[in-house]
Amino acid sequence: MDASLSPDQLSFPAVWRHPHLLDLERLTAAEILAILRTADELKTMTEGCRRKVPLLTGRTCANLFFENSTRTRNSFSLAAKRLGADTVEFSSSGSSVAKGETFVDTAKTIEAMGVDWVVTRHSTPGTPHLLARELGCCVLNAGDGPHEHPTQGLLDMLTILQHRIGSDWKSESADPEKVFAGMTVALVGDIAHSRTARSNLWGLRKLGAHVIICGPPTLVSHRWEELGFEVAHRLDEIVHRCDVLNLLRIQFERQKARPFPSVYEYAALYAMNGQRLRHAKPDILIMAPGPINRGVEITPEVADGPHSVILEQVTNGIAVRMASLWLLANAKDNADASTETLA
């Protein structure tokens, strides 16, 4: 879409009918592609997510984060502001939750202030799903424990599309289930504790990619093969086959026991470094959801090299979250209008 076009010319995809974004596992390929197309259009319309467009003026987005966050919280805030919405920032430390108020009561209190979306992050899987049942506003999952992180999976896929697929995926005639056909994407690292991995797994497979899950046996179970994913325990054996490597952080804070003898040993077997890069495809795409641990999952020469799109992922996070806020708000408006008509 040309940046000079009016925001009124952004078309709402008929396939999208959800007032909440809770996970990618239950979305169809067509619904996922609708978000990605909308994100791409909004990125262009806002000149790389830098310019404001008045699509959501008069609405309010509340960020309810019960875990630490830098990228996701700021990304959602910027996404809302880029579209003209206001934001409310909530932190569990020093809040009424610390005084004994329940999570749901806190969310209902925030909703009663007139918010249109609640963006939530919590250590307990299923928390956003609970809020979606209890609240009347739109709910977006910004990470629920090790379960899912849908907007992170979406921004990763948008980055791959923009770098490797050309423009065919933007056409309405494109088959959503074959957008990534013929592409091999490897997720490397702490799969056992990664919500980012799960959202990527469901999204990539629905759009037709071949997905390899790679990491130590203590973090990558062969049970994933039962769901149709390839499992590998040595990065050196698969790196030459991959079009994309997504390097996941080792989440020591979620581990009850050390899953490998030392960080040094992990880096020796799984870190993407210059030597491994020389065995990869010439146009391999290197990704990481962040925060990155330099020298553990990836070396500085690779993180800052020409194959890396790590910072572009951050920009695409704003685009995906703009699209999510806009789609959910319009879906809820349409559903409310239909209910009023039936009444």
3-state secondary structure of 194: coil
How far is 253 from 263, CA to CA, in rounded Å? Answer: 14
Query: Does residue 43 have a known ligand-binding role?
Result: no
| Residue 309 identity | V
Annotated ligand binding at 72? The verdict is yes
The reply, when asked if residue 206 is annotated as ligand binding, is no
Q: What is the DSSP string of 164-187?
A: HTTTGGGSTTS-GGGTTTT-EEEE
For the chain, list the strands marked E by DSSP. 60-65, 86-91, 117-122, 138-144, 184-188, 210-214, 230-232, 244-247, 285-287
Alpha-carbon Rg for the chain in angstroms: 20
261 is in an annotated binding site: no
- Residue 99 in marked binding region: yes
Burial per residue of 299-331, b for 16 or more beta-carbon CB atoms within 10 angstroms, e otherwise: beebbeeebbbbebbbbbbbbbbbbbbbbbbbb
State how far the Cα of 19 lies from the Cα of 25, in Å rounded to an integer. 16
3 state SS of 209: coil
Establish whether 162 is an annotated binding residue.
no
Q: How far apart are CA 264 and CA 295, in angstroms?
A: 9
User: Dihedrals φ, ψ of 192, to 5°?
Assistant: -60, -35
Q: Look at strands 230-232 and 60-65 and give their pairing.
A: unpaired
Residue 321, annotated as binding a ligand: no
Rounded CA-CA distance 140/128 in Å is: 7
Whether residue 149 is annotated as binding a ligand: the answer is yes
Flag whether 73 is marked binding: no
20 is in an annotated binding site: no
Is residue 28 within 8 Å of residue 176, measured between CB atoms? yes
Length of the chain, in residues:
343
Binding residue positions for carbamoyl phosphate: 71-72, 121, 149, 152, 290-291
Residues at the binding site for L-aspartate are: 99, 195, 249
Binding positions are: 71-72, 99, 121, 149, 152, 195, 249, 290-291
